[in-house]
Chain A
Amino acid sequence: MQTLTVNGNNLEVDAEPDTPLLWVLREQLGLTGTKYGCGVAACGACTVHIDGAPVRSCQVQLQDVRPDETITTIEGLSADRSHPIQQAWLELDVPQCGYCQSGQIMAAAAFLEDYPDPTDEDIKAGMTNLCRCGTYNRIKAGIKRAAELS
């Protein structure tokens, strides 16, 4: 048994130590908002925050999570979808199928912390998550709108 701090809760996890955090979140903790896309850190659908930093959770093994680290998933980003990124996403109808959007939102929320007033070039360089529907231009607009809302 290992204890994780996820979205402010201390949770006991029964999984093999080399299980990726992605699958611990999805299967042991039932937090299915964090998505499996590639398993090789290429797509970013599994992005969560560890101590506030964006991390591709498919690449983090359970045994590598330190006891003092706090994990935030899309389910814990805000109450009532009130984070500026979520508000902007809703206002601009950013998602299409939506599958990658948990990861996009978590990546964008972390990006906005580092770039509170981002340029297009900042966003192009900083947002590397993949979206097969092609919502990139609305993601870009959404991040800028969220910067205004922040």
Chain B
Amino acid sequence: MTQRITLSRRSFLAGTAAAGGLSLGLALPGAAQNATGSTPELNAWVVINPDNTVVVRVAKIEMGQGTLTGLAQLVAEELECDWDTVTWSYPTPGENVARDRIWGSFGTFGSQGIRTSQQMVREGGAAARLMLLQAAANRWGVDVDEVTVAKGIITGPDGATLTYGDVASEAATLDVPAEVTLKDPSEWTVAGTSVLRLDTADKLDGSRKFAIDLTQPGMMLGAVKQTPVLGGKIVSFDADAVTGMPGVQKVVQIGEDTVVVVANTWWRAKTALDALPIEWDLGENATFGMADLEAMLNEGLTANDGFVGNEAGDVEAALDGAAQVVEAVYHYPSQHHATMEPMNAMALVTDDSCEVWVATQNAETDLAVAAETSGLEIPQCDIHRINLGGGFGRRASSSDYTVIAVRVGMEMKGTPVKVIWSREEDSTHGTYHPTTKARMRGALDADGNLTGMHIRISGQSIFAGLMPFALEDGMDPLTFQGLQAESTEGEFGYTVPNLLVDHAMRNPPLRPGFWRGVNNNQNAFYLECFMDELADAAGKDPLEFRRGLMQDHPLHLAVLEKVAEGIGWDTPAPEGRFRGLCQHMGYGSYVAAAAEVSVDDRGNLTIHKIVAATDPGHVVNPQQIEAQIEGSFAYGLSAGLLSQVTIEEGQVQEENFDTYPIVSMWEMPEVESHLIPSGGFWGGVGEPTIFVATPAVMNAVYRATGKRVRELPLNKHDLSPT
């Protein structure tokens, strides 16, 4: 079907500040229909101003990963506009709801930004182009086939020209084309190229306003303190002790476990909060420590209650009949996201409205949360989406910041209140990377062939902690990322005739969350380090051993071969240097890494180089993918080398970067990135290379030292010769 384009005053006003601008609504044929058959579920949006600037409306959110530039490239490619005229804007989730979710999902996680919306935005660009050309043809009274366009300049048969801005308003009255034909990626001239980001300039002079920077007339600031122990409660606090302090306006208790001091500056609010006497009932988790966690995870390694995530053949029979059984236990600790911008949100609540300004990876969730928290209807609420000072999954795991800002706003109706977490509160109230252990068992025959493998995962489930409704008969399928037989989100890359991957769920009192890379991180560490252990036991080269198991997984193998070639696997490493490699697949993309390291006689590790390969199917912006790959190694190696969240007496111990070290310039290796898109699918790039950072380095560390690091981070271990 085709649908008449309508001008929406609201989106028009939101989309452009230029009077006389035009909003092209593109309801595309073939889009999924709802039950009544009247409302398209997906649309793309292009706004063209009279001055020819093109505003690409972006449903996803930018947090550094470059998605908004990539999406704009895809729109511009099909639109045939001048890239230099492209700008962007964000619709709000309230607008999305009011328009039957015309923009689809705002959720920005799982490396989905490009891969789940590329079709929609390309169709949007193509449909807009056809309508603009038709409008020009109509004006000239010629057939549309007689007009051409390049960089937003339409040329008629007699050489006359019109700009997109000239005909945009006429185009808006035309029918949406019944169908559009998208360019083959081989024809791309804007997409697929390393254009610079659209959002850099104001990050260079301090003018970019992050959510933490926003101000409003009359704004008040809140400093927050939450129970130090999960499940703890406030017994009492003495607000009178701080109400006379400079700037203090109010002390607000939220629920049973949170206090917010509101003042006219955040520093004054925090100063008063630090002075506020609070008596806590810390509850039943107040004795829990790392020894308890260790015992909990160890028990699960051999328990009988495993959920099965992948199974083939008879693994116990294979182990019983093996010439050699290799066994090892690995451990991946809890990790904090540690976004550089601490959690914060600003809310303005009145009797009949609730607005929130927040850096969030999924503003539709925040909208629902704002409505539920305020008791208002969704049309009375809206979320203003602000680019994130880092997300990494923290701002997709819990909307706690929105809940608390709205709750404070409800206590101070008509006053905008911005609540900011101190770094210490942020660090100790995260949604942490789940901690698990894995008992790995491999069966080798007399020729060193892998005939069976059992991976028993013991530990934490994100779904159980964050969203139990997503469990499937108690099982968390996300636990098996990268170890499943068939999944675009993480597929096992080896053929093992007898295989069992199962999970004994053990949930310590730490709130889990989606941490960039998610469960692929530990699963790749377990599997790819153990593969090296198996290769050693089989007396085979780690690459050759893997090759033998990967013949049915050519895309997994291709990236591995690429990094082997890049690091020079077939030639000796320079004197004193040692190499390791690995591969993994997740979020639609195939990735591999090879590391070259040395360890000095005091045990200090130097990572000289990492060669990375990514097959994301299609490449939209090579230099931005390279930036993601480099960044993913910084993030992944932070967990591999330096960082862990520990818990004692129920309380997270690492409060700040002095006790939660992350990779700095000092540790950052050189990264050589190879992009080898094979076409035919669309994979993500924000996360996948995180998976391979740690196993590649740990495999190299083993070659350098003979020490197999099975518990992260590396800095717990002494690598000096013993």
Contact = CB atoms under 8 A, between A and B. Distances in A.
B631 interface: yes
A48 B588 CA distance: 42
Given A81-B204, A102-B206, A132 B664 contact: no
Contacts of B632: 134
Interface string B192-204: 0000110111011
Given A90-B204, A105-B204, A133-B634, A98 B389 contact: yes
Interface in A26-83: 26-28, 30-40, 42-43, 45, 73-75, 77-78, 81
B480 interface: no
A96 interface: yes
A118 B326 CA distance: 49
A101 B668 contact: no
A93 B205 contact: no
Contacts of B627: 93, 96, 135, 138
Contact of A97 (B63, B266, B630): B63
Contacts of B221: 27
B206 A73 contact: yes
A40 B207 CA distance: 24
Contacts of A130: 340, 657, 662, 664
Nearest to B63: A97
B433 to A, nearest CB: 14
B339 A38 contact: no
B691 interface: no
Contacts of A129: 664-665
Contact of A39 (B341, B423, B634): B423
B657 A42 contact: yes
A6 interface: no
A33 B200 contact: no
Interface in A119-134: 123-125, 127-134
B204 A101 contact: yes
A23 B246 contact: no
A22 to B, nearest CB: 9
A139 interface: yes
Contacts of B222: none
Contact of B631 (A20, A98, A124, A133): A133
Contact of B341 (A27, A90, A93, A99): A99
A136 B63 contact: no
Given A38-B656, A132-B339, A101 B203 contact: yes
A112 interface: no
A42 B424 CA distance: 13
Interface string B122-145: 000000000000000000000000
A32 B209 contact: yes
A4 interface: no
Interface in B190-244: 196-197, 199-201, 203-210, 212-213, 215, 221
A98 B203 contact: yes
A132 B690 CA distance: 13
A38 B206 CA distance: 18
Contacts of B200: 89-90, 93-95, 98
Contact of B623 (A43, A93, A131): A93
A126 to B, nearest CB: 9
Given A23-B266, A100-B340, A89 B387 contact: no
Interface in B233-287: 246, 265-268, 271
B64 A38 contact: no
B204 A27 contact: no
B387 A97 contact: yes
A103 to B, nearest CB: 9
Contacts of A133: 64, 340, 390, 631, 634-635
B656 A75 contact: no
A124 B665 contact: yes
A43 B670 contact: no
A75 B208 CA distance: 11
Contacts of B196: 90, 93
B392 interface: yes
A96 B64 contact: yes
Interface string B651-671: 000001110001111101011
B440 interface: no
B422 interface: yes
B66 interface: yes
A108 to B, nearest CB: 11
Contact of B624 (A23, A90, A93, A101): A93
A133 B246 CA distance: 37
A113 interface: no
A97 B63 CA distance: 5
A98 B389 CA distance: 7
A132 B665 contact: no
A95 to B, nearest CB: 4
A15 B265 CA distance: 10
Contacts of A19: 267
A127 B663 CA distance: 12
A89 B210 CA distance: 19
Contacts of A127: 665
B631 A96 contact: yes
Interface string B457-476: 00000000000000000000
A9 to B, nearest CB: 15
A144 interface: no
Contacts of B64: 95-98, 133
Given A40-B658, A74-B205, A23 B631 contact: no
Contacts of A105: 204
B85 to A, nearest CB: 19
Contacts of A123: 665
Interface in B631-657: 631-635, 656-657
Contacts of B656: 38-40, 42
B498 interface: no
A140 B341 contact: no
Contact of A95 (B204, B206, B420): B204
Given A96-B64, A133-B631, A137-B630, A36 B668 contact: no
B668 A134 contact: yes
A117 interface: no
A16 interface: yes
Nearest to A126: B665
A132 B662 contact: yes
Nearest to A73: B206
A105 B203 CA distance: 10
Given A39-B656, A43-B340, A90-B201, A131 B634 contact: yes
Contacts of A28: 265
B342 interface: yes
Residue from B63, B203, B631, B656 with most neighbouring chain A CB atoms (10 Å): B203
Contact of B663 (A73, A101, A125, A134): A134
Given A40-B658, A134-B630, A136-B668, A86 B204 contact: yes
21 contacts: A27-B265, A32-B213, A36-B423, A37-B341, A37-B342, A40-B657, A42-B656, A43-B340, A43-B657, A81-B201, A86-B204, A93-B196, A97-B64, A97-B341, A98-B64, A98-B389, A134-B630, A134-B635, A134-B663, A136-B634, A137-B630
Q: Which 10 pairs across A and B sit closest by C-beta, in order of nearness? A: A33-B206, A134-B634, A99-B389, A96-B64, A97-B64, A98-B203, A134-B631, A32-B213, A74-B206, A42-B657
Interface of B: 63-66, 196-197, 199-201, 203-210, 212-213, 215, 221, 246, 265-268, 271, 338-342, 387-392, 420, 422-423, 623-624, 627, 630-635, 656-658, 662-666, 668, 670-671
Given A89-B204, A95-B204, 8 more contacts: A30-B215, A36-B212, A36-B420, A37-B340, A77-B205, A97-B388, A130-B662, A132-B338
